[in-house]
A and B are shown apart, each in its own frame.
Chain A
Amino acid sequence: MSRRRASSRAPLRRFLRDPAAVVGGLLLVLVTVPLYLASWLAPDDPYAVNVPNRLAGFSGSHPLGTDGLGRDVLTRILYGGRTSVLLTLAVTAIITVVGGFFGVLAGMRGGIIDRLVMQLVDIVQAVPLVIVSMVTIALLGAGTAKLIFVIAVLGWTRHTRVVRAATLSLREREFIESSRVLGASRLRIAWRHILPNIVRPVVVLSTLDVGRILLLTSTLSFLGFGARPPTPEWGSMLADARTYFFVAPRLLIIPGVAIFLVAWSANLFGEGMRDAFETREI
């Protein structure tokens, strides 16, 4: 009994011993919390256009200056972060669930269902995500919901592969066999035995996905296929800032650094977790 408890604490200890991981975790909290508290922290209204005051530099009332339309940059960063991060989390959540479902299905059932799922995975993985996203959104119109939909539909394949591999290796283990001998149904086995053991690699993969998907959503928004203006979003803010590249480079730098910080801390944290759990298949 005590041995099992000790082994579930060992990853935590390993994690805490890795300075990069701890920094990543702290940074992640630091960076994302303000985004949820945007409405409380923001000094201004993100949509408030104030053209006479456009492109103002750093000042007391506008700590990060104003953009091309006179809107407060700090406010837009905070709200934009909320948009970007929520977008990312939504996609990640959907991918985790869908990918996990297919993975467990393929792993548990095996045989033809496994082959069908993996064939589907091969096809979906071959589909060029960026192109199809662009096309789909062009056809359906821009907007955050549509963006979530498109990326989620095409991005679940990595999860399926990982979950399937984990399920397969678990299936061989004795405690599964003994459950089956005792008459547990497949569903029950999946729920009570497989899922808890898949949690670790899935959590690591999802955390690492956050960075990747944030980059993807902001890239698509940058190209004009994401959040519709005037909704603040880091990618589209960067796109707007292109016109002012020489005049006010900070308008480019600030959202870029913001994206970098969130993605970087998520990646640090995720890698730290991966090392702590010592799962290498990701």
Chain B
Amino acid sequence: MTAPGEPLLSVDDLHVRFRTDHGVVKAADGVSFAIWPDEVVGIVGESGSGKTVTALSVLRLLPATAEVTGAVTFGGRDLLTLPEADLRAVRGDRIALIFQDALAAMNPLHRVGRQVAEAIRVHHSETSRGDAARRAVELLGLVGIPTPEERARQFPQEFSGGMRQRAMIAMAMANDPDVLIADEPTTALDVTTQAQVLEVLKDVRRRTHSALVLITHDFGVVAGVADRVVVMYAGKVVESGTVEEVLLHPAHPYTKGLLASMPTLDREEERLARIPGQPPSLIDVPSGCAFHPRCPYAQLPDPCASALPELRPSPGAAADGHRSACHFSDRLVESG
């Protein structure tokens, strides 16, 4: 059980490696963060930053070719070493995942209602089919799907993108989990639907008081919903802190770049500033700070290309508050 004041879920020094024909891919390279009860944490980064891999490794859902080391502590136990049967009790019941591509994530040959009911019946085997089906319809209604009885009898292809995403949320919240992990829940949707889905997520949280981990590349999504933010780049955490801290006083050049490229209504520029360059290869990670090839503030070769910056508290922040991994974070914060 989680002691009061202790984090609900804590990821410690997580390394995920894949052996490929071209070399070892370091998808996650020493990732650490914590989730407290009833909070919303956004994990932000470009594709390839390791956010999805981190989320999947929490429930050990990576393919067998992945080598995972580190610890993922939940309820006093390390999920990475838990026996399969115990892990299955956690999956879908205490920690639930909401996947990105809802069309691919649902079985095209099973009706939606059945797939939601499955989440219930796996963990409450004494529930009859009828009761589970009724509860599934209830859940579909709770996430805002109209005429849920009819919809439950339909197949995933018959749903629109937004409805599918809501159905996935319904599946995840079925057993009132302590932690909901949503992997890019809004990426494939248009702006209006994005807003609706986010509302549903907020609503679900209000009911169930679960912690929500929101994985996205879009700071705009994070800004409206999250309490804290974790920024990832090339498999490492480069900044973390409360939303205000990170958004208003970014202490890492990558975060600054991401914020600058975010479209907002009150900006007048014709072009969005983009971070120059491409995300790095995870096999040949740049030496020192992985961001240095694209960083406008980089000082080469020392220290940026030679020394790995540690995640340390920002100037003026508490020890467990705003942290960033940049050799020059103090200068960044000054310049605002």
Indicate if A touches B (C-beta under 8 A): no
Point out residues on A near B: beta carbons under 8 Å. none
